[in-house]
Amino acid sequence: MMSTSEANKYWVGFDLGGTKMLATVFDSEFKPMGRKRRKTRGHEGVDFGMNRIVQTIEAALEDAEVPASEILGIGIGCPGPLDLDRGIIMEAPNLGWVNAPVKKALQKAFGCPVVILNDVDAGVYGEYRFGAGKNERCVLGVFPGTGIGGGCIYEGRVLRGKVSSCMEIGHVKVMPGGPRCGCGESGCLEAVASRLAISAQAAQAAARGQAPRLLKAAGSDLSEIRSGALAEAIDAGDVVIEQILREAAHFIGVAAGGLIHILAPDVIVLGGGLVEAMPKLFVSEVETAARDFVLPSFRDSFRVVAAELGDDAGVMGSAAWVRETEYAGNGSSQKIHNTS
Amino acid sequence: MMSTSEANKYWVGFDLGGTKMLATVFDSEFKPMGRKRRKTRGHEGVDFGMNRIVQTIEAALEDAEVPASEILGIGIGCPGPLDLDRGIIMEAPNLGWVNAPVKKALQKAFGCPVVILNDVDAGVYGEYRFGAGKNERCVLGVFPGTGIGGGCIYEGRVLRGKVSSCMEIGHVKVMPGGPRCGCGESGCLEAVASRLAISAQAAQAAARGQAPRLLKAAGSDLSEIRSGALAEAIDAGDVVIEQILREAAHFIGVAAGGLIHILAPDVIVLGGGLVEAMPKLFVSEVETAARDFVLPSFRDSFRVVAAELGDDAGVMGSAAWVRETEYAGNGSSQKIHNTS
């Protein structure tokens, strides 16, 4: 049994993903005490989803042997767009959800403060607090995945929109007249360098017989061509696959270079499954492209590094973020502004 | 004579421009008490310049009838790049200065806290505190002039670089393969829509006989074609000049649209001489282009407005900024990070 003294209080971090959800219970020093991972099953609908989140947190508390009464707060990283003030997922196409009242459901179940934030912001905040961007003045996170997410922690604050999210690096134009993006425009970074865009090119190479290792391992079905399969194909000698990956990473560096002129980050943290599978390739190509792109005065102003926390970035970041918002007024925290 | 009670303390704001400098003394409510404007005469060198800044502040204090001992702090907006921590103008090409020790010179002369900041940041902060972006959560300022400056105030903080400045909207690429920029690249916003770029196009139109009003009023010399002359030519019926201005403003809107995806500003404040001379044209074109550019979820997330404070934005902003930095810890202030 846990002590109930002031020192033994707990924060819960939650990462709500398109395919899986993860809850982790942290002690006051952010040591993980217990966790639970489950499939999200978004297609079952919002009510089912709210219950499932509650049950997953309950299971993590059980794993940690922590009673719900000792939770100081729950932070939850969600796919957006979000209504941050009201704690609602306004729309999550990946889950098929509209107006999911996350904050209300969790407050009712656990009776503690609940804060939602964008899932990429949660991951970048985790890397800022505990990982590859630890305590840096300005951290820009770029997470290529199905789409390409971005987040920025500036002097301890998560840069966020009031209504919309921000740091939409996936929709920076990097290739005028380039491939069509899901947003309707063309030449967006996401249309050129997301895992989906990379897999589509890799599948073509496989179908053309230019990537025999990939074809053997994963076929030419986009849904089978995941980060691990791409990394293995490169290691096994599929040169064309390596070229495709390097070109995609190059364009991520071009887009990052554009943001360096705007935000002057001290460190750019690259994360997500693709980067985890091929960290050296991504760090090297992004860094080279970004340094080539920027004005001379910015050339030595930043580092490019791979994320360090993997899947834990989101739960650590969201748990640390709810703690920050609960201790507003300590200089590095940030009140949620009301829409007015 | 002023009282010496606690309530009667003063802040000095200073705007160091390429051609003129302006000092203003404010009381504790930021009411202007006295001011002095002089030509900068940067070509006389750094030592001359430091003395001239000191003398201009002394003249403003005299105008305000305030003794130097009652100044709580001096804020000074400077052309960059700057070393914010050490208070040095590292290089100001417009002035021909290298390593100008502004902070040290003013501290020695007045014995009070001195803070330097980027000149555009000072203007945007002024508009955030007292003008067109008053108390907004996120204000993006865009000031087209000889170059095109940008600044962002996010939840009361000036977004700044550690080494380099940031918000280099002038070097956002808006026209692939477009005109050559001073930075060596091509297609930068500054190469397309700065006053210099506009004047060059206007001079061509004048030389071709397509802008008779402008030709009569200002000739075809770039240095004579200033904002007022352009506005008057449009009013007098030079349709081609209006087209040139509208197209430039359109590209400013395209660049601003890109930044909306990154920063999600609530308000975009347009300032500087061109905008002051033609506020309606700029606000309308920038707003239309930005709304066309952004993703649907951002379309109603921002307003575009003209700056309200004119030349006073810089002195008001820098005076308010030194006050903020002196009262660190009140939530909206921001410590200067050490370069480490």
Does residue A259 belong to the interface with chain B, where contact is any CB pair within 8 Å? yes
How many residues are listed for chain B in this entry? 340
Summarize the confidence of residues B58-80 as an average pLDDT.
96
Can you give the pLDDT at residue A161? 84
Confidence of residue B338 (pLDDT cuts 50, 70, 90): very low
Q: Is the pLDDT score of A329 beyond 50?
A: no
Cβ-based contacts of B157 with chain A (< 8 Å): 154-155, 157
Of A155, A161, A301, the CB nearest to B264: A161
Q: Nearest by CB to A176, from B176, B259, B297: name it.
A: B176
pLDDT digits (tens, 9 = 90+) for B262-321: 999 999 999 999 999 999 999 999 999 999 999 988 999 999 999 999 999 999 999 999
Q: How confident is the model at residue A328 (pLDDT cuts 50, 70, 90)?
A: low
What Cα–Cα distance (Å) separates residue A173 from each residue in A121, A259, A277, B38, B251?
A: 22, 12, 26, 44, 14
Asked if residue B7 has pLDDT above 80, the reply is: no
Compare CB distances from B166 to A150, A183, A263 and report the shortest one's residue: A263
Which pLDDT score is estimated for B94? Answer: 84
Q: What average pLDDT does the segment B215-239 reach?
A: 93
For the segment A174-233, what is each residue's pLDDT rounded down to a tens digit?
998 999 998 889 999 999 999 999 999 999 999 999 999 999 999 888 888 999 999 999
pLDDT reported for residue B332: 38
Taking 80 as the threshold, does the pLDDT of residue A301 lie above it? yes
Residues of B in contact with A295 (CB under 8 A): 164, 168, 171, 183
Are A251 and A293 within 8 A, CB to CB? no
Distance from CA of B195 to the nearest CA of A (A): 21
- Contact list, A141 vs chain B (CB under 8 Å): none
- Say whether pLDDT at B5 is over 60: no
Global pTM reads: 0.91
Average pLDDT estimate for A98-112: 97
What is the predicted pLDDT for the residue at B328?
Answer: 61
Closest CA to A310 of A280, A277, A284, A266: A277
ipTM of the complex: 0.88
Phi, psi dihedrals of residue A216, rounded to the nearest 5°? -70, -40
A191 min Cα distance to partner chain B (Å): 15
Stretch B214-232: mean pLDDT = 91
- Quick one: pLDDT at residue B80? 78
Question: Which residue, among A145, A12, A165, has the nearest Cα to A76 in the 3D structure?
Answer: A12
Chain A hits for B331, CB-CB cut-off 8 Å, are 328-329, 331, 335
| In chain A, alpha helices (H) | 46-64, 102-110, 119-130, 189-193, 195-207, 212-218, 227-236, 239-263, 273-277, 279-293, 312-326
pLDDT band of residue A7 (cuts 50, 70, 90) is low
CB-CB contact of B227 with B278 (8 Å): yes
pLDDT tens for A231-279 read 999 999 999 999 999 999 999 999 999 999 999 999 999 999 999 999 9
pLDDT in tens, B157-175: 999 987 667 899 999 999 9
pLDDT of residue B222: 84
Report the chain B residue with the minimal C-alpha distance to residue A139: B161
B154 touches A at CB < 8 Å: yes
Residue among B253, B235, B326, B336 nearest B289 (CA): B253
Name which of B154, B164, B172 is nearest A159 (Cβ-Cβ): B154
Coil, strand or helix at B48: helix
Q: What pLDDT, on the 0 to 100 scale, is given for residue B220?
A: 85
Candidates A12, A38, A35, A5; CA nearest to A110 is A12
Kindly report the average pLDDT of chain B as a whole number. Answer: 92
pLDDT, average across residues B328-338: 43
Residues 6+ apart with CB under 8 A from B270: B141, B142, B143, B144, B252, B279, B282, B283, B286, B304, B305, B306, B307
**Tokens 């390409």 sit on residue:** A148
A207 has a chain B CB within 8 A of its CB: no
On chain A, the residues whose CB falls within 8 A of the CB of B258 are 172-173, 258
- Work out the average pLDDT over B209-237: 93
The residues, any chain, with a CB within 8 Å of residue B5's CB and separated by 6 or more, are none
Q: How far is CA A215 from the centre of its chain?
A: 29
